[in-house]
Amino acid sequence: MIRRWWIFLLLLMFLFPACQTMDRAGDSRDNKFILLASTIGPIDAGIVGALEEGFEKETGIRVRHVGAGTGAALKMAEKGQFDLVLAHAKSLEEKFVQGGFGTERISLMYNDFVILGPASDPAGIKGMKTAAEALRTIAARKATFISRGDKSGTHVSEMELWKGAGIKPAGSWYIIYEKGSSGNGPTLRYANERKAYTVIDRATYLALKKEITLAILVEKDEAMLNFMSLIPVNQAKFPKVNRAVAMQFIGWMTAVDKGQRLIRDFGKEKYGEPMFFPNSVAWRKSQGK
């Protein structure tokens, strides 16, 4: 009796490490890998995973990513912990490159921000042509507005839109979502609960469209385009950074017939419209722009 369960336990014990070593064998095959710090939006939308998967299939190189707001992602990269950053806040990115932490900004893709609000539109901004006009109206009417408020790319973009409108938003109508750093999805959901206005990226809106009642009120303003760039971390500053492999991944993602095509088609099937738009230099050339 005793012996039997000891044998069973031993079996159990050997089973787990056995699985483990199998996995190790798999790991050692591709001892090359890339560490990517990415803004949360495209991870949640699934496009980061799709790009990584496509790249791994072709090269066998695994990309390990971690999600954080653009501000936080850049901050971690400033300590040399990553090979590559995917960010979407021009001003922060430029500061990162100027500080010598990154070598350059490489255009990858963009999506756009939209101004969402209750379908009843109490502030009456529907159909306005510019974000500036709409935000001025929201502020003037003191309509409840939710901000992500966490220095993420989304928040920085929102602040830039306010700046463009010439307004410093403050007051009881301007609510900073305290859990904003958990991402755009939760922020949008919160705005939906509060029946408030908010600025959010289209990909997040499309992903949650079915379960929220907020509607797009203002869109397609040039000022609301949300450009995402890749920044390789400076190897001269951090010798442990694996620049060669990071550049290989960047090359793959920006290539017209590889990453860019994947970006163009991503989400079309599920949502009926694309979530992201390819924007690499090579892609723009191929489009004759």
Site for other proteins in 78-137 (CB under 8 A): 79-81
Characterize 108-129 residue by residue with b for buried, 16 or more Cβ atoms within 10 angstroms of its Cβ, and e for exposed.
bbbbbbbbbbbeeeebebeebe
Phi/psi of residue 69, nearest 5 degrees:
-60, 160
Residue with tokens 């299939």: 57
Which residue stretches of the chain are H helix? Answer: 2-29, 40-45, 47-59, 70-77, 90-98, 131-141, 153-165, 184-194, 202-208, 243-254, 261-265, 268-271, 281-286
CB neighbours of residue 199 within 10 Å: 28
Nearer to other proteins, 182 or 248 (CB): 182
Transcribe 154-185 into DSSP letters: HHHHHHHHHHHHT----STTEEE-TTGGG-HH
Nearer to other proteins, 70 or 279 (CB): 70
287 binds other proteins (CB under 8 A): no
User: Quick one: tokens of 198?
Assistant: 């908010």
Stretch that binds other proteins, among 134-142, 146-154, 205-213, 270-278 (CB under 8 A): 205-213
Min. distance of Cβ 209 from other proteins in angstroms? 11
Of positions 59, 130, 182, 235, contacts other proteins by CB under 8 A: 182
Give dist(CA 242, CA 56) in Å, integer: 16
DSSP strand pairing (215-218 vs 106-117): antiparallel
Nearer to other proteins, 5 or 273 (CB): 5
Stretch that binds other proteins, among 61-69, 123-131, 265-273, 276-284 (CB under 8 A): 61-69
Nearer to other proteins, 207 or 246 (CB): 207
Nearer to other proteins, 17 or 166 (CB): 17
Per-residue contact flags (x/-) with other proteins for residues 248 to 267, judged by CB under 8 A? --------------------
49 binds other proteins (CB under 8 A): yes
Give dist(CA 85, CA 105) in Å, integer: 10
Stretch that binds other proteins, among 16-24, 110-118, 160-168, 221-229 (CB under 8 A): 16-24
Of positions 3, 11, 172, 211, contacts other proteins by CB under 8 A: 211
16 binds other proteins (CB under 8 A): yes
42 binds other proteins (CB under 8 A): no
User: Quick one: tokens of 153?
Assistant: 């790319």
Q: How many residues at the interface with other proteins, by CB under 8 A? A: 38
Helix (H) / strand (E) element for 257: namely none
Stretch that binds other proteins, among 18-26, 102-110, 219-227, 280-288 (CB under 8 A): 18-26
Strand partners, 200: 114
Strand partners, 35: 64
Of positions 41, 55, 61, 67, contacts other proteins by CB under 8 A: 67
Give dist(CA 250, CA 228) in Å, integer: 13
Of positions 10, 20, 122, 168, contacts other proteins by CB under 8 A: 20
Binding site for other proteins (CB under 8 A): 1-2, 5, 8-9, 13, 15-17, 19-20, 23, 27, 33, 35, 44, 46, 49, 52-53, 62, 64-67, 79-81, 182-183, 185-186, 189, 207-208, 211, 238, 240
